[in-house]
Amino acid sequence: MKTLNKIKIKTKTKSYNVFIGNSILPSVIKWINKLNLHKNIFAVIDENVMNLHKEYITNSLVNHKSKIHFYLLRSNENSKSFEGLSEIISALLSNNFGRDTILLSIGGGVTGDLAGFAASVYMRGIQLVHIPTTLLAAADSAVGGKTGVNFNNYKNIAGTFFQPDFVLIDTKFLSTLPEAELNSGTGELIKYAFITNKDFFNNVNNNFEKIFSLDKKFIDKIIYESVLFKGSVISKDEFEGGLRKILNFGHTFAHAYESLSNYQLKHGEAVTLGIISALFLSAKAGILSEKKLTHFLGLPLKMKLSSLNMEDYSSVLRFMYGDKKNKKGEINFILLNDIGKVITDVTVNERDILYSIEKTKEIVQK
């Protein structure tokens, strides 16, 4: 058991560590004690993760001498609701957990979003530790403090900013991920490839197959670099007032695509489709050259992508008008000029939005 890397995340509201390594879950109690956190543990665990790793999880926590309760979550986008939030809060209450509680979130992005929201509002806030078990959550969503639920089919429309007390990324969990989950996590890695720098882009582009073979050295490095970059962004802009918006590259399209698919599209796959659309829109808006467009499309098109089966484009626009990044009733896009050169708060006409969606449909179906 060895911690391979530690990253310090510093925000205005809280500073905390992200630990990254293989088979490091047994150290979670050590860190809870070392950081003098609360000892009563309420663990929200993705039921699939528990089924696959029950012995590992229970053995890692069994020697904990204070109160502990396991709450199993059926983890899908439909669970990310006020009803799902209410059920967690009810379980906290019925098991007599007070403010001296630390909530452990063990699962992917859905688990983290919902459990984090519960931790942020239960008794006006209890301590929180994220233990991401998917590539998407490890590389992206477990860090940064965003929590939320879906409402009326609008993605993450209600939520809070609530930083965890620490994050423990145990890459052992990735070994049991199905291909669809690896595919989903790769979508966020592709996002980082575009918004960070050319070295990161080239590393992902040239070693794409290593993601799916779970090459240990490559996965550890790419997760570390993603978290390091995200940490540098949120340290400057915790509440998405400006710079942090770059982390939403591709997401204006993606959230609409997810909602319209009734969440049959996994988030990372929707992000990849959204990135393709954002690249087309960047070129249409004159921000990205046609030469770069052709080159950049090569990376997201390496993914196995579902077709965009939609005819009613007005529904896409309707969801986009409900996007959290909008201002003054206008849809705001995050567009790309070059690798690492992202432009935020771009408004375009609806005709160019629909053009970008149509071009995405065409190129994915080829």
Has residue 82 got a pLDDT over 80?
yes
* Span 5-177 CATH architecture: 3-Layer(aba) Sandwich (3.40)
| pLDDT tens digit sequence for 30-57 | 999 999 999 999 999 999 999 999 999 9
267 is catalytic: yes
Annotated catalytic residue within 53, 80, 130, 146: 146
Annotated catalytic residue within 53, 155, 191, 230: 230
248 is catalytic: yes
| pLDDT tens digit sequence for 286-328 | 999 999 999 999 999 999 998 887 777 788 999 999 888 888 8
Instruction: Give the closest residue to 303 by CA, choosing from 337, 269, 262.
Output: 269
**Strand residues in the chain grouped as ranges (E):** 5-10, 15-21, 40-46, 68-73, 101-107, 127-132, 149-151, 154-158, 166-170, 333-338, 341-346
Annotated catalytic residue within 267, 269, 332, 359: 267
**Strand residues in 215-366 grouped as ranges (E):** 333-338, 341-346
- Ranges in the chain annotated CATH 3.40.50.1970: 5-177
Annotated catalytic residue within 255, 266, 284, 359: 255
Q: What's the whole-number mean pLDDT along residues 182-188?
A: 96
Annotated catalytic residue within 248, 258, 284, 359: 248
Annotated catalytic residue within 240, 302, 324, 326: 240
130 is catalytic: no
Percent of the chain with pLDDT over 90: 89
| pLDDT tens digit sequence for 111-156 | 999 999 999 999 999 999 999 999 999 999 999 999 999 999 899 9
Q: Return contacts of 150-158, CB within 8 angstroms, 24+ apart.
A: 150/77, 150/80, 150/81, 150/263, 151/81, 151/82, 153/259, 153/262, 153/319, 154/255, 154/259, 154/319, 154/322, 155/255, 155/258, 155/259, 156/80, 156/113, 156/255, 156/324, 157/322, 157/324, 158/82
pLDDT at 326: 85
146 is catalytic: yes
Q: What is the pTM assigned to this prediction? A: 0.95
318 is catalytic: no
pLDDT at 1: 46
CA dist., res. 133 & res. 140, Å (int): 12
**Least confident range of 265-279, 305-319, 328-342:** 305-319
pLDDT at 2: 58
Annotated catalytic residue within 124, 328, 351, 366: 124
Annotated catalytic residue within 188, 238, 258, 269: 188
244 is catalytic: yes
User: Which one of 1.20.1090.10, 3.40.50.980, 1.10.10.10, 3.40.50.300 gives the CATH number of domain 239-365?
Assistant: 1.20.1090.10
- Residue pair 222/139 in contact by the 8 Å Cβ criterion: yes
188 is catalytic: yes
Q: What's the whole-number mean pLDDT along residues 194-217?
A: 97
Q: What's the whole-number mean pLDDT along residues 82-107?
A: 98
pLDDT at 343: 98
- Ranges in the chain annotated CATH 1.20.1090.10: 239-365
**Mean pLDDT (the chain, rounded):** 95
Q: What's the whole-number mean pLDDT along residues 175-188?
A: 96
